[in-house]
């Protein structure tokens, strides 16, 4: 199959592919999504094939306005309405009780709940509206790899496997949406940290819990996708943290092993240690967690185009703002701290 690269002005053609049950990758504010008509079971199955995604991992449903949500869920609690009003369109996925039979069963992977969001991207909203369908869409990467933040990343992973990519430029947030479970009204719970922080959610609905799995791997995650290998580039990633061995020792160690170092870090660290690396990728100023989040996946992918044999990545503070960034980096590094 030839994968067409479409401009936002060619949305009609992209929508046509969706109506015909084909896959179209599209930009959102978080990462590029791999979209299919969420009501068409055959189409949704193609997503799992193209990504090599485990079939027990449900997909997020993208709609163009909050009015469409009631078609697909049993009930919309008042907390959900307040969050939708505050943050949609935006990087928040809300898990609610699914109204059975209204979506492809493959979307929910057999669960009785469904995750829904309205993406903050004009081309995504136009695609949903023109196709006249809710779009089931995971991140448009091959399973296990860093999520795509440009059309080029999608093309690299999906060329020949999907009908089209709508290229609407780089994504703004750079990390996926926050997944919030509201199926138990008394206990709103973050299943996956993301573009909206815990504090931002709490400002609207009060106390929000974190899925215990996020801090202790001993528990099974409530969000099936959290248990898989994730966000990993070809080279092994090691996190260098202030409480660990320190940059000098770590660099000395890998140089002695004849490894070629790729350095993924803030400007200051690159200034100081860049001379020991065969390639560097700056995440911006250390205080600017937003920029670091936007650039993380592009940075991880960048080293695949270089001679680096390992990636040393700088740890950021796990503050409210840096929490999602560190969650993704830890997974990319499979928990390897030095
Ligand atoms: O920002 C995003 O959320 C991007 C863009 C494309 O919208 N999408 C995305 O999808 O990250 P994906 O499939 O890569 O991740 C979806 C996550 C997975 O961890 C999945 O297990 C979880 O959401 N999820 C989806 N439906 C769920 C449900 N009913 N219950 C619990 N977790 C759910
Ligand atoms: Mg993903």
pLDDT digits (tens, 9 = 90+) for 268-281: 999 999 999 999 99
CA-CA distance, 284 to 311, in Å (whole number)? 17
Whether the predicted pLDDT of 217 surpasses 80: no
* Ligand closest to the CA atom of residue 144: 2
Nearest Cα to Cα of residue 290 among 195, 169, 192:
195
The pLDDT of residue 227: 59
The pLDDT of residue 195: 98
The pLDDT of residue 216: 66
Report the b/e string of 47-70 with b at 16+ CB within 10 A: bbebbebeeebbbbbbbbebeebe
Q: Strand 237-240: give its sheet, edge to edge.
A: 237-240, 310-314, 261-265, 279-282
Token readout for 216 is: 């202790």
CA-CA distance, 115 to 29, in Å (whole number)? 17
Chain position carrying tokens 């996190």: 239
From residue 252, how far is each of 24, 245, 249, 261 by CA, in Å? Answer: 46, 11, 5, 11
The pLDDT of residue 255: 97
- Closest residue by Cα to atom 19, ligand 1, is 225
Tell me, what DSSP letter sits at residue 18? H
- Percent of the chain at pLDDT above 90? 90
* Ligand closest to the CA atom of residue 121: 1
What is the tens place of the pLDDT at every residue in 94-129?
Answer: 999 999 999 999 999 999 999 999 999 999 999 999
Q: Is 113 in the pocket of ligand 1 (CB under 6 A)?
A: yes
Whether the predicted pLDDT of 219 surpasses 70: no
- Closest residue by Cα to atom 6, ligand 1, is 33
Token readout for 76 is: 């919309």
Query: For residue 139, how far is its CA from the centre of ligand 2 (angstroms)?
Result: 4
**What are φ and ψ of residue 34, in 5° steps?**
-110, 100
Q: How does the average pLDDT of the chain come out, rounded?
A: 95
Average pLDDT over residues 160-188: 97
- Are 338 and 250 in contact, with CB atoms under 8 Å apart? yes
Whether the predicted pLDDT of 218 surpasses 60: no
CA-CA distance, 24 to 38, in Å (whole number)? 12
Average pLDDT over residues 237-246: 93
Residues in the chain: 338
Q: Is 31 in the pocket of ligand 1 (CB under 6 A)?
A: yes
Average pLDDT over residues 33-62: 96
Query: For residue 183, how far is its CA from the centre of ligand 1 (angstroms)?
Result: 16
Average pLDDT over residues 69-75: 98
Model confidence band, residue 225 (pLDDT cutoffs 50, 70, 90): low
Nearest Cα to Cα of residue 238 among 247, 227, 226, 229:
247
Chain position carrying tokens 């943050």: 87
Average pLDDT over residues 21-43: 98
* Ligand closest to the CA atom of residue 28: 1
The pLDDT of residue 222: 74
Token readout for 124 is: 């995504």
With the most atoms of ligand 1 within 8 angstroms of its CB, the residue from 60, 89, 128, 178 to mutate is 60
- Percent of the chain at pLDDT above 70? 96
- How many CA atoms lie within 13 Å of 36's alpha carbon, on the beta-carbon side? 27
CA dihedral (60, 61, 62, 64) in degrees, to 10, reads -150
From residue 234, how far is each of 20, 21, 230, 308 by CA, in Å? Answer: 35, 32, 12, 10
**What are φ and ψ of residue 279, in 5° steps?**
-155, 145
Lowest mean per-residue pLDDT among 131-135, 213-217, 309-313: 213-217
Query: For residue 31, how far is its CA from the centre of ligand 2 (angstroms)?
Result: 9
Model confidence band, residue 34 (pLDDT cutoffs 50, 70, 90): very high
Tell me, what DSSP letter sits at residue 187? -
The pLDDT of residue 185: 81
Whether the predicted pLDDT of 54 surpasses 80: yes
The pLDDT of residue 224: 67
The pLDDT of residue 335: 85
Token readout for 264 is: 């993924």
From residue 109, how far is each of 31, 59, 103, 142, 151 by CA, in Å? Answer: 22, 8, 11, 19, 27
- Closest residue by Cα to atom 30, ligand 1, is 223
* Ligand closest to the CA atom of residue 58: 1
Peptide bond before residue 163 is cis, with ω within 30 degrees of 0: no
Q: Is 180 in the pocket of ligand 1 (CB under 6 A)?
A: no
Average pLDDT over residues 14-32: 98
Average pLDDT over residues 204-214: 94
Query: Which residues face 264 on adjacent strands?
Result: 281, 313
């Amino acid at each position: 199959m030839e994968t067409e690269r479409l401009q936002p002005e060619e949305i009609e053609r992209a929508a046509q592919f969706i109506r015909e049950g084909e896959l179209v990758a599209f930009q959102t504010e978080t990462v590029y999504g791999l979209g299919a008509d969420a009501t068409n079971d055959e189409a949704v199955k193609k997503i799992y094939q193209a990504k090599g995604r485990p079939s027990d991992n449900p997909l997020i449903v993208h709609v163009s306005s909050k009015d469409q949500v009631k078609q697909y869920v049993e009930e919309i609690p008042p907390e959900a309405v307040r969050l939708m009003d505050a943050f949609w369109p935006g990087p928040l996925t809300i898990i609610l009780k699914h109204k059975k039979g209204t979506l492809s069963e493959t979307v929910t992977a057999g669960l009785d709940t469904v995750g829904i969001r309205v993406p903050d991207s004009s081309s995504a909203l136009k695609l949903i509206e023109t196709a006249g369908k809710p779009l089931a869409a995971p991140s448009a990467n091959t399973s296990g790899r860093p999520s795509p933040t440009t059309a080029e990343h999608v093309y690299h992973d999906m060329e020949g496997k999907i009908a089209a990519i709508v290229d609407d430029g780089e994504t703004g947030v750079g990390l996926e949406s926050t997944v919030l479970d509201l199926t138990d009204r008394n206990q709103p719970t973050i299943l996956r940290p993301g573009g909206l922080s815990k504090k931002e959610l709490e400002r609207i609905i009060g106390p929000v819990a974190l899925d215990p799995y996020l801090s202790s791997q001993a528990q099974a995650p409530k969000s099936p996708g959290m248990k898989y290998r994730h966000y990993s580039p070809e080279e092994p990633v090691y996190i260098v943290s202030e409480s660990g061995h320190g940059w000098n020792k770590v660099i000395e160690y890998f140089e002695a092993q004849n490894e070629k170092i790729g350095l993924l870090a803030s400007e200051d660290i690159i200034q100081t240690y860049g001379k020991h690396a065969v390639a560097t990728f700056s995440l911006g100023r250390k205080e600017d967690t937003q920029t670091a989040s936007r650039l993380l996946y592009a940075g991880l992918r960048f080293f695949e185009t270089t001679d680096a044999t390992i990636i040393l990545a700088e740890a950021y503070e796990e503050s409210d703002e840096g929490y999602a960034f560190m969650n993704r980096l830890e997974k990319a590094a499979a928990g390897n701290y030095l």
